[in-house]
Amino acid sequence: MQFLLAFVVVAPLLGAAAALLPAPPGLKGKSPDQAVLRHGVTVTGVILLAAIALTLGFDHDHPSRMQATTDISWIKALDVRIHLGVDGISLPLLVLTALLTFLCALYSYFKMPQGPSPKAFVALLLVLEAGTLATFAVLDLVLFFLAFEMVLVPMYFLIARWGGEGRRAAAGKFILYTLLGSVVMLLGLLLIGIKAGTFDMVALAADGGRGLTTSVQVTAVLAIGLGLAVKTPMWPLHSWLPDAHTAAPTVGSVLLAGVLLKMGTYGFVRIALPIAPDGMHTLAPYLAAFAAAGIVYGSLACLALARPGAKGDLKRLIAYSSVGHMGFVLLGIATLTPTGVNGALFANIAHGLITGLLFFLVGALKDRYGTADLDTLAGATGAALYGRAPRLGALLAFAAVASLGLPGLAGFWGEMLALFAAFDPAEGLNRAAYLVFMALGGLGTLLTAAYLLMVVRRVCMGGPRPAGEPELADVQPYELAAWTPLVALTVLAGLWPAVLLGLTDPAVQQLLAGGTQ
């Protein structure tokens, strides 16, 4: 188990280095480009298998305990350690990252985005995976920051070199926002480490903030929270996200929405909640207010983009929907209750599966039509994807109803638990304020249903293909291979939520109890 976790974290870096080397003569296939893309599929596939083996070997009877741990002294002068481990909170995110990266590599093997050498593309994809996996596996504040920052450079180049129109400006905005947020976050992490005398996240969580004054905790949560909020993204620090998604290649959008946004909310749960509980208690109402505002704002922005004549980009619409969906995650965390935090963690996974699928589907539509403009799509299809490409239309409708929180699918449980927790927040929080936040969240669910059903009606519904118009390619085998796992897991998590909640709940209970059972 210890070796498996270390392998999962280190293997992508080794794979990235190998991707830049010349392919051995026997493995070149038809071309060197094909060889390196196949290398990406192989490496990410092996990492996914290792993550699944890690899950099978995980002690599911004790998910609150850190398992597969490695603890090696790295920088003795600062007491910085190479400390790795997984529990019921981080394991699902680790597997989600490995799965989405493998599906993106598989999709790219058949549909490589236009841009420079595939060598650089595969290497950057693997470095991005390494940074994300490390973020969910490390248990040292300094290592967490390094892993958190490691993903910025590969994502910047994936957008700037393989993106679409406006890619350089979007990539620049992405890196500027996230770097500025990270500088502030580093100050907060250093404040905790210096004041507590250790950077070890397990020891700090076990201490439960008892070694830190309330003022230090509030200052640290404010600084760390700002950096995490940019990555989440929390309204009003979200403005980099729509541009980045609109310009990014399909696989870039899938990983950005499915994995990178989760790093911000994971930081709140892993660092802010257990290490600085008094600071979180002080700032939780403000976090909840911004979360509720983001839910409504994201939904209204999507409604504006979805209406006829608005020239709304479908990728941009889904990006704004992420602002609303991540608002539910933040609202759950801000209740400071086991119900809310479990709901937030469940919504994290559900959003990764569903929004990853949505971006795959929109990328496929854009490949077929050359645009993601909603007015053009509605006109070009005659509002009849069902008639021209029934499988593609059915998958788009499925992903849309999953995203709006249809009971029986994964999107339902996280949002429901977050709203339920807002009805009865932790002791000491203003219940009247949280009831308002709950009402705003409920309004957001109605608006979400409105804009997603509007998208389905405009793009999918209608009569058969008009006479004289060319046929539209339906779902291809490689697309089916990349999308089927996301569909299956969305249904599984919706019908059997205990699969996730059984892992997260004991770990969350211990986390909120200050590291003690």
Q: Which H helix or E strand runs over 344?
A: helix 338-369
User: In whole angstroms, what is the distance from residue 15 CA to residue 19 CA?
Assistant: 6
Amino acid at residue number 48: L
- Looking at residue 88, its amino acid is G
Q: Which two tokens stand for residue 280?
A: 């979180």
What pTM was computed for the model?
0.92
Per the structure block, which two tokens stand in for 368?
């077929």
Which pLDDT does position 514 carry in this prediction? 67
DSSP labels for 232-262? TTPTTS-THHHHHHHHS-HHHHHHIIIIIHH
Determine the Cα–Cα distance for residues 474 and 88; give it in Å rounded to an integer: 39
pLDDT reported for residue 466 = 59
Per the CB < 8 A criterion, the answer to whether 115 and 125 are in contact is no
Which residue, 187, 347, 175, 158, is CA-closest to 266? 347
Give the model confidence (pLDDT) of 173-193 as tens digits: 888 888 888 889 999 999 998
What pLDDT is recorded for position 510?
Answer: 87
Q: Which of 92, 100, 98, 101 is nearest to 55 (CA)?
A: 92
Residue 14, pLDDT score: 92
Q: What per-residue confidence (pLDDT) applies to 516?
A: 44
Residue type for position 32: P
Distances (CA, A) of 113 to 167, 251, 419, 477: 13, 9, 39, 18
Per-residue pLDDT of the chain (517 residues; tens, 9 = 90+): 788 999 999 999 999 998 888 766 555 556 777 888 888 999 999 999 999 999 999 988 888 888 888 888 888 877 788 889 999 999 999 999 999 999 999 999 988 888 788 889 999 999 999 999 999 999 999 999 999 989 999 999 999 888 888 888 888 888 888 888 888 999 999 999 888 888 888 888 888 878 888 999 999 999 999 999 988 888 888 888 888 888 889 899 999 888 988 999 999 999 999 999 999 999 999 999 999 999 999 999 999 988 887 777 888 999 999 999 999 999 999 999 999 999 999 999 999 999 999 999 999 888 888 778 887 777 655 546 777 788 888 999 999 999 998 999 998 999 999 999 999 998 888 999 999 999 999 999 999 999 999 888 888 876 555 555 666 778 889 999 999 999 999 999 999 999 899 999 999 988 888 654 4
Look at phi and psi of residue 468 and say left if phi exceeds 0, alpha if psi is from -120 to 50, else beta. Answer: left
pLDDT for the residue numbered 515: 52
